[in-house]
Chains A and B, each alone.
Chain A
Amino acid sequence: MSDERPSGFKEVEEGPTASDDTHEDRPTAVDVVDEQSHPTVTAARTRFGDAIFRHEVMAGDEHVIFVDPERNYEILEWLKDDPDQLYNFLSDVTAVDYGSGRPIQVVYQLYSIPLRHSIRVKAELPLSHLEIDSVVPLWKAANWLEREVYDMFGVTFRNHPDLRRILMPEVYAEGHPLRKDFPLRGRFSRAEQTRRALAQAPEDYYIAKDFGPGREFQKVGWQELGAEPEPAATPEPEDPADESEHSTDPDERA
């Protein structure tokens, strides 16, 4: 086997290096072609100027623009309503974490049903300031998609009508699972995870005062059931690389 690449077995011992540090000079743009090939990019540049950070072309024909996270709402509103753009179908909202402390990218995938063109809009958020404007007022489809990004990455969407965890339980205390520093099997031991899971009441969010937005997160579970929290069987892993990720309480970010 050649020595240029690390062998596959190294990863078995050290864990996946998806966020590899050796790729600092990661080639970002694959094929940068002239912007004339996508009229939206040119129009956005002339209209917003500095708010469009850069433009990339991925996989041949997928145009990506990186925008200022402070102005994403403005740009996306223009993309949706401008008669030349008319991106009326929000296909996807997601995020990408490259790890190693690099910024988290929030990705909007847009498509225009009447004009049949698509574009991807990205906003890069530094880990210290994971906040961006919600686009739910523009597309109602963004509601659950943004909740999922909040749940999985901890990105807070300002002005979101109902920003709660969606896939994980609302009392989940281990952090945001799709971050690169989140271990595959979670931060707690299996016994602790099982105990916490069974301490949830299936009736959560069933009584009227919990029913609806704007309420407090209900702190349920083992405290109220009277059970003592057991110490985790495996010691909770410490990650000295990134201390900020250890605020595991979802409410602190909210």
Chain B
Amino acid sequence: MSDTKAKDTKANPQNTGSGLPGGIFGQGTPTFLTTKVDFVVNWARRNSLWPMPFGTACCAIEMMSAAASTHDLARFGMERMSFSPRQADVLICAGRVPYKLAPVLRRIWDQMPQPKWCVSMGACASSGGVFDAYSMVQGIDTIVPVDVYVPGCPPRPEALIYGLIMIQEKIRGETLAEHETLRHEDPDAVGRPKADAQQVEALSGPFGNSTLQNRPSGLVPGIPQERPGDRVP
């Protein structure tokens, strides 16, 4: 018996300790052990998400409804609203975000420890909504990375719960083998916009069918947006 064991070790020099090539998490390929560890870790993460409620406006009221007795967010393991970003997993950005609030949002996101996810709740947080004006951030995805967008103005509590379940589904698909790429944080990116200038311009251009949206800005003559698909009366 001892002979065969020594022979195996000789034949597979990499097979040391864990019995897996490339250490405990494998070399980028899921193996039996990592999938099982993934399952346990994801199960634990998924079912005890602590939301950080960054509630500003109407959506915050619906978020409170979701946490209150009728809709009862606690059924999904999220009843523990964490008002400190240091102990939170999910940033729920509920409501409109003006530019004055943008550094606060970014600071809170930077303060949250990995792993972390972000839900952009409502039209204003996702795209600026009806507030296509001088003071409003046109979508928080220019500031922080967003995992799930919940549409609505404001979304119903059921929609928020559905968005959080989508976060749970997303967590289910994660693997520790990709931990470095998924959860890497660049210290230089702290406090900086998530999107670069071109992306911000592209994301926050005029849109929608409001009668006055199809031009760069108010009374000042500027470069009109070229939108060939528009029906010109």
Residues of A whose CB lies within 8 Å of any CB of B are 8-9, 11-13, 15-16, 19, 99, 168-169, 174, 177, 180-187, 189-202, 230, 233-235, 237-239
Q: Is the CB of A16 within 8 A of B217?
A: no
Given contacts A13-B215, A190-B204, whether A169 and B134 have CB atoms under 8 Å apart is no
A195: which B residues are within 8 A, CB to CB? 193, 197
Q: Is the CB of A12 within 8 A of B107?
A: no
Interface residue B191 (Cβ < 8 Å from any Cβ of A) = yes
Q: How many residues of B contact A (CB 8 A)?
A: 40
B136 → chain A closest CB, angstroms:
9
A239: which B residues are within 8 A, CB to CB? 219-220
B103: which A residues are within 8 A, CB to CB? 197-202
B233: which A residues are within 8 A, CB to CB? 9
A12: which B residues are within 8 A, CB to CB? 211-212, 214-215
Q: Out of A15, A169, A185, A230, which one reaches B197, CB within 8 Å?
A: A230
Interface residue B221 (Cβ < 8 Å from any Cβ of A) = yes
Residues B175-233 near A (CB distance < 8 A): 191-193, 195-198, 200-201, 204-205, 211-212, 214-224, 233
Q: Is the CB of B132 within 8 A of A184?
A: yes
Given contacts A16-B218, A190-B138, whether A198 and B223 have CB atoms under 8 Å apart is no
Q: Is the CB of A234 within 8 A of B216?
A: yes
Which single residue of chain A is at the shortest CB-CB distance from B107? A202
Q: Is the CB of B133 within 8 A of A16?
A: no
| Top 8 A-B residue pairs of the complex, sorted by shortest distance between their CB atoms | A183-B217, A186-B134, A191-B197, A183-B218, A197-B99, A237-B220, A184-B218, A197-B102
Interface residue B142 (Cβ < 8 Å from any Cβ of A) = yes
Q: Is the CB of A181 within 8 A of B220?
A: yes
Q: Is the CB of B219 within 8 A of A15?
A: yes
Q: Out of B132, B135, B224, which one reaches A168, CB within 8 Å?
A: B135
Q: Is the CB of A234 within 8 A of B193?
A: no
A16–B99 CA distance with the chains assembled, in angstroms: 25
Q: Is the CB of A198 within 8 A of B134?
A: no
A168: which B residues are within 8 A, CB to CB? 100, 135
Q: A186-B135, A237-B222 are in contact. List 5 more A-B contacts (CB 8 A).
A: A185-B133, A197-B99, A234-B216, A237-B216, A237-B221
A24 → chain B closest CB, angstroms:
18
Q: Is the CB of B219 within 8 A of A183?
A: yes
A182: which B residues are within 8 A, CB to CB? 134, 218
B217: which A residues are within 8 A, CB to CB? 183-186, 237
Q: Is the CB of A198 within 8 A of B106?
A: yes
Q: Is the CB of A191 within 8 A of B222?
A: no
Which single residue of chain B is at the shortest CB-CB distance from A240? B221
Q: Is the CB of A198 within 8 A of B222?
A: no
Given contacts A169-B99, A190-B201, A194-B99, whether A185 and B134 have CB atoms under 8 Å apart is yes
Interface residue B60 (Cβ < 8 Å from any Cβ of A) = no
A197–B220 CA distance with the chains assembled, in angstroms: 23
30 residue pairs from A and B, CB less than 8 Å apart: A11-B212, A13-B215, A16-B218, A182-B134, A182-B218, A183-B134, A183-B217, A184-B134, A184-B212, A185-B132, A185-B133, A185-B134, A186-B135, A187-B220, A190-B138, A190-B200, A191-B198, A191-B200, A194-B137, A194-B142, A194-B143, A198-B143, A200-B100, A202-B103, A230-B197, A233-B198, A234-B222, A237-B220, A238-B220, A239-B219
A175 → chain B closest CB, angstroms:
9
B219 → chain A closest CB, angstroms:
5
B216: which A residues are within 8 A, CB to CB? 183, 185, 234, 237
A72 → chain B closest CB, angstroms:
29
